[in-house]
């Protein structure tokens, strides 16, 4: 059973699933820090818009000081600067496509292309450039909307859309692959192949680390990984990083699904007291679908609490 | 059980009929010019790969060396005064492919150009070459030579050693007679001479200015410059790197206006040792449709130049026809990354210049108008940098354009109400706007 649309409307502004994703990424980078990657010295480049939530977390929790937010929309020029959260966040009104080629290769990067639109040809160009540019041990993340690209369309129409946007990254997909339930994997395949293509002639490769799917309204997908060598991959796979539930090294595996069950505060407090629970455990005191419990077990550590703040 | 030895020996037919299919007649002729240039390189011990990129301070001293190419449906001939081929290279001239230790030229790398041209063009072939003091000459009837094809001896070609007369300059003369029917047909095509001329003009654009003159049917071919542009407000981007023995130089900018941008001149130009191998490429070979969008006429203003240079021409990424690139070449793959990174800001500039929803004329258009041709050697001499645009801050305009859809029916009603039946929609729009300002927005 999936949480329904109406429940989501309540939370839409705060986007809990997205926040779970951010917290998982922050935890990943903390673990990577522990493994010797000097994350606090990395440059974080993102599309901060006017909210800068990722920037705030990455600065406060990870200690990253070199931050660049790129915004293309001239209409919100002043708002973007007004909302700059810290002095160390440089805000640039520019096209991200032009900024990627000028990222310094003497520095390591975390680049999050957090689009809120559907996959387009331009996004793939950005990924190709990033993969061609970012030095070893840099991380790339990309988020796209994975709703069916044509409303009330059919797999045939959706296939046409993806052919138009990224024919060369489709691999050998057949019509049946464009079923609605599989569109998230189609998107994931295209994004991954675009990165693979950009990095192909370098002496590093793309090591996939993350793939999240969630819906705070629209179905969204985030994929990401690191540029590194076979050795880098081997050491990540064999260390504590591989023990994180949501890490996905395998190109073909389904994304990690972030499901945020709708729970009351009282229910959450009760469940938390019994976490981490064994698989298939369910509370006796009240009824909850088993898949909600399973989902909660995976995300409770990252699940934000919301409360009204009277200012 | 046992072992038998399979015969893998080549047949002459293969060379005569198969490998001539992969090259166009124009490119065969260019192969012959390449050989002339290589003679010059040998004789003068110059390194065109390096020297042609040096900035000219004065006009080159002395007369240029000449290559004379004459095409008719009876005969094709090419003669040069570029120094001739020394006797020590007789085997290199006629064998298919080079010995592993052969000293290669700068443009001739594979050892197939002359042979392929002979087989492609004619049944009868003559060569006469002389350096200072010694020379050799040969005449081959190809059908007769092709008949015997059983043992290695059958591949040999008799060559006469000569003592050249002193009044002829050192050089090489090649003549093809009894042309193949398909070659005659192409030469009779009224467009053919123009195609050859354009090919020479583009392919040797850097040589033609400095080191060699090519005359086609009696007229000197003028170089077709690489259309790299610049202006006071824009500076071309430039990157350099070295991989193995290959030096790579990449430049990208807006194209020079003449006075507009032309589709056929836009795209990437790739040069190997100074010779243009790919011109105005707009395909995925050079990254269009991957890191760059698919080519579109709005990118007619884009020009990129990539120059690969090496003392060892086998390391360069060209194909054997020198009309394409070997995509698998590691140095080309590395260059392709840099090409895309360098091109990206120019593509964005052109996107902004041709935005679909425009309120006012973008500043990009004014900047683009002023772009003029830049001598590539001047760009080469500059420090590496990304493509730069100096955008003057736009002055806040006091006016802006308004455009909107309105129902024809409503416009007619307004015209009736204001008793102006002859007014156009534009005037009605202006009138109603002014009316609103006057009545609703008092100063």
Give the mutation candidate from B244, B289, B290, B359 for the A interface (greatest A CB count, under 10 A): B290
What confidence tens digit (pLDDT) does each residue in A128-187 have? Answer: 999 999 999 999 999 999 999 988 889 999 999 999 999 889 999 999 999 999 999 999
Among B290, B334, B341, select the one facing A197 at the smallest CB separation.
B290
CB-based contacts of B217-221 (< 8 A; 24+ apart in sequence) = B217/B69, B217/B70, B217/B71, B217/B193, B218/B70, B221/B197
Contact B291 A128 (CB under 8 A): yes
Contact A128 B340 (CB under 8 A): yes
What confidence tens digit (pLDDT) does each residue in B57-114 have? Answer: 666 665 678 999 999 999 999 999 999 999 988 888 888 888 777 777 788 877 788 9
What confidence tens digit (pLDDT) does each residue in A55-73 have? Answer: 999 999 999 999 999 998 8
CA–CA distance, A241 with B204 (Å, rounded to integer): 57
With contacts defined as CB-CB under 8 Å, which chain B residues touch A201? 330, 333-334, 336-337
What value does the mean pLDDT take over residues B385-407?
Answer: 77
Of B174, B212, B337, nearest to A105 (Cα)?
B337
CA–CA distance, A306 with A303 (Å, rounded to integer): 10
Contact B293 A121 (CB under 8 A): yes
Q: How far is A131 from chain B (nearest CA, A)?
A: 9
pLDDT for B401 equals: 82
**How high is the ipTM of this complex?**
0.72
- Nearest C-alpha in A relative to B328: A201
Contact A98 B334 (CB under 8 A): no
The alpha carbon dihedral of B309, B314, B317, B323 has a sign of: positive
Among B289, B291, B348, select the one facing A198 at the smallest CB separation.
B291
B440 CB neighbour count, 10 Å cutoff: 7
User: Binning pLDDT at 50, 70 and 90, where does residue B393 land?
Assistant: low
Residues 6+ apart with CB under 8 A from B296: none
Among B293, B294, B336, select the one facing A201 at the smallest CB separation.
B336
pLDDT for A31 equals: 97
Q: What angle do CA A302, A306, A310 make, to 5 degrees?
A: 150
User: How many residue pairs bridge chain A and chain B with CB atoms within 8 Å of each other?
Assistant: 52
Give the mutation candidate from B295, B333, B344, B353 for the A interface (greatest A CB count, under 10 A): B344
Of A256, A267, A265, A255, nearest to A293 (Cα)?
A267
pLDDT for B373 equals: 86
Q: What percent of chain A has pLDDT over 70?
A: 95
With contacts defined as CB-CB under 8 Å, which chain B residues touch A97? 344, 347-348
Least confident of B205-219, B231-245, B292-306, B383-397: B383-397
pLDDT for B55 equals: 65
Q: Which residues of B touch A (CB under 8 A)?
A: 284, 289-294, 330, 333-334, 336-337, 340-342, 344-345, 347-348, 386
With contacts defined as CB-CB under 8 Å, which chain B residues touch A99? none
Among A95, A125, A202, select the one facing B291 at the smallest CB separation.
A125
Contact B344 A129 (CB under 8 A): yes
What confidence tens digit (pLDDT) does each residue in A173-198 have? Answer: 999 999 999 999 999 999 999 999 99
What confidence tens digit (pLDDT) does each residue in B153-174 have? Answer: 888 899 999 998 878 889 999 9
Give the CA radius of gyration of chain A.
20
Tokens of B284: 């995925």
Among B294, B337, B348, select the one facing A98 at the smallest CB separation.
B348
pLDDT for B13 equals: 85
Walk across the sheet containing B65-71 and list its strands: B160-162, B135-141, B122-130, B171-179, B75-80, B65-71, B212-216, B219-220
pLDDT at A8 over 50: no
CA–CA distance, A65 with A62 (Å, rounded to integer): 9
Among B289, B292, B336, select the one facing A168 at the smallest CB separation.
B289
More confident residue, A273 or B58: A273
- Nearest C-alpha in B relative to A95: B348
CA–CA distance, B25 with A147 (Å, rounded to integer): 53
With contacts defined as CB-CB under 8 Å, which chain A residues touch B360? none
Q: What percent of chain A has pLDDT over 90?
A: 76
- Nearest C-alpha in A relative to B348: A98
Among B293, B340, B386, select the one facing A129 at the smallest CB separation.
B340
pLDDT at A282 over 60: yes
Contact B337 A202 (CB under 8 A): yes
What confidence tens digit (pLDDT) does each residue in B210-234 have? Answer: 788 999 999 999 999 999 998 888 8
Q: From residue A22, how far is each of A57, A117, A305 by CA, in Å? A: 8, 18, 14
pLDDT at A295 over 70: yes
Q: How far is B415 from chain A (nearest CA, A)?
A: 36
User: Binning pLDDT at 50, 70 and 90, where does residue B395 land?
Assistant: low
**What does pLDDT average to over chain B?**
88
Angle (deg, nearest 10), helices B25-44 and B192-203: 40
pLDDT for B357 equals: 66
Contact A121 B345 (CB under 8 A): no
Least confident of B97-101, B128-132, B386-390, B392-396: B392-396
CA–CA distance, B93 with B354 (Å, rounded to integer): 53
Tokens of B406: 């309105």
Tokens of B251: 């430049």
Q: How far is A134 from chain B (nearest CA, A)?
A: 11
What confidence tens digit (pLDDT) does each residue in B355-366 have? Answer: 776 666 777 888
With contacts defined as CB-CB under 8 Å, which chain B residues touch A121? 293-294
Among A101, A121, A201, select the one facing B341 at the smallest CB separation.
A101
pLDDT for B431 equals: 92
Among B284, B289, B386, select the one facing A101 at the smallest CB separation.
B386
CA–CA distance, B156 with B36 (Å, rounded to integer): 24
pLDDT for A262 equals: 87
CA–CA distance, A19 with A11 (Å, rounded to integer): 11
What confidence tens digit (pLDDT) does each residue in B251-261 have? Answer: 999 999 877 89
Pairing state between β A109-118 and A43-46: parallel
pLDDT at B349 over 80: yes
Q: How far is A52 from chain B (nearest CA, A)?
A: 25
Which residues partner with A257 through β-bridges?
A213
Query: With DSSP H G I counted as helix, E B as strand and the rest as coil, what are the percentages for chain B, rounded to 5?
Result: 35, 25, 40
pLDDT at B203 over 90: yes
Contact A101 B344 (CB under 8 A): yes
User: Binning pLDDT at 50, 70 and 90, where does residue A99 land?
Assistant: very high
Whose tokens are 């994304």? That residue is A255
Write phi, then psi, for B207 (nearest 5 degrees).
-75, -40
């Amino acid at each position: 059973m999936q949480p329904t649309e109406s429940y989501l409307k309540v939370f839409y502004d705060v986007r809990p699933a997205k926040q779970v994703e951010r917290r998982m990424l922050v935890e990943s980078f903390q673990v990577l820090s522990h493994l010797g990657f000097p994350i606090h010295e990395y440059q974080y480049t993102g599309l901060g818009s006017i909210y800068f939530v990722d920037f705030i977390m990455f600065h406060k929790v990870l200690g990253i000081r070199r931050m660049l937010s790129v915004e293309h929309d001239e209409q919100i020029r002043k708002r973007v600067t007004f909302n700059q959260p810290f002095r160390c966040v440089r805000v640039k009104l520019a096209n991200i496509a032009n900024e990627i080629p000028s990222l310094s290769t003497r520095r390591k990067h975390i680049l999050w292309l957090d689009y809120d639109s559907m996959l387009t040809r331009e996004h793939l160009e950005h990924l190709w450039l990033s993969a061609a540019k970012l030095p070893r041990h840099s991380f790339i993340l990309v988020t796209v909307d994975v709703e069916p690209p044509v409303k009330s369309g059919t797999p045939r129409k959706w296939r046409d859309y993806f052919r138009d946007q990224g024919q060369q990254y489709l691999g050998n997909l057949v019509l049946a692959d464009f079923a609605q339930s599989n569109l998230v994997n189609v998107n994931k395949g295209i994004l991954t192949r675009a990165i693979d293509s950009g990095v192909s002639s370098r002496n590093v490769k793309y090591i996939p680390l993350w793939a999240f799917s969630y819906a705070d309204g629209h179905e969204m997908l985030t994929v990401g990984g690191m540029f590194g060598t076979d050795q880098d991959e081997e050491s990540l796979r064999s260390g504590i990083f591989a023990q994180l539930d949501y890490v996905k090294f395998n190109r073909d595996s389904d994304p990690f699904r972030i499901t945020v069950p709708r729970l009351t505060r009282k229910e959450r407090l009760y469940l938390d007291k019994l976490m981490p629970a064994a698989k298939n455990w369910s509370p006796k005191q009240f009824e909850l679908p088993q898949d909600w419990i399973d989902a909660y077990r995976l995300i409770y550590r990252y699940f934000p609490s919301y409360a009204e703040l009277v200012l | 059980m046992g072992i038998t030895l399979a015969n893998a020996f080549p047949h002459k037919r293969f060379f005569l009929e198969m490998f001539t299919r992969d090259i166009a007649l124009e490119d065969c002729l260019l192969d012959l010019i390449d050989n002339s240039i290589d003679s010059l390189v040998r004789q003068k011990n110059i390194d065109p790969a390096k020297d042609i990129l040096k900035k000219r301070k004065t006009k080159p001293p002395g007369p240029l060396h000449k290559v004379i190419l004459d095409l008719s449906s009876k005969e094709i001939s090419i003669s040069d005064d570029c120094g001739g081929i020394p006797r020590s290279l007789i085997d290199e001239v006629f064998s298919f492919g080079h010995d592993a230790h052969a000293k290669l030229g700068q443009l001739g790398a594979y050892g197939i150009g002359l042979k392929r041209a002979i087989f492609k063009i004619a049944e009868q072939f003559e060569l006469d070459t002389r350096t200072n003091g010694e020379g050799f000459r040969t005449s081959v009837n190809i059908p007769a030579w092709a008949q015997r094809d059983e043992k290695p001896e059958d591949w040999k070609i008799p060559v006469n050693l000569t003592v050249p007369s002193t009044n002829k300059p050192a050089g090489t003369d090649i003549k093809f007679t009894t042309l193949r029917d398909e070659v005659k047909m192409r030469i009779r095509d009224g467009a053919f001479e123009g195609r050859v001329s354009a090919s020479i003009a583009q392919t040797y654009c850097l040589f033609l200015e400095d080191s060699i003159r090519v005359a086609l049917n009696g007229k000197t071919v003028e170089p077709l410059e690489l259309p790299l542009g610049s202006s006071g407000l824009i500076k071309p981007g430039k990157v350099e790197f070295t991989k193995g023995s290959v030096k790579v130089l990449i430049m990208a900018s807006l194209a020079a206006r003449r006075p507009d941008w032309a589709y056929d001149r836009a795209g990437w130009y790739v040069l190997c040792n100074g010779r243009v191998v790919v011109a105005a490429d707009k395909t995925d070979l050079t990254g269009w449709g991957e890191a760059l969008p698919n080519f579109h006429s709005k990118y007619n203003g884009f020009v990129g130049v990539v120059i690969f240079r090496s003392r060892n021409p086998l390391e360069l990424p060209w194909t054997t026809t020198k009309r394409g690139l070997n995509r698998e070449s590691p140095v080309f793959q590395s260059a392709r990354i840099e090409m895309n990174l360098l091109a990206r800001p120019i593509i964005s500039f052109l996107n902004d210049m041709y935005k679909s929803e425009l309120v006012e004329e973008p500043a990009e258009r004014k900047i683009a108008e002023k772009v003029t041709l830049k001598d590539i050697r001047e760009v080469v001499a500059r420090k590496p940098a990304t493509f730069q645009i100096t955008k003057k801050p736009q002055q806040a305009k006091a006016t802006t354009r308004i455009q909107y859809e309105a129902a024809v029916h409503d416009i007619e009603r307004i015209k009736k109400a204001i008793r102006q039946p002859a007014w156009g929609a534009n005037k009605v729009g202006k009138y109603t706007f002014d009316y609103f300002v006057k009545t609703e927005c008092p100063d």
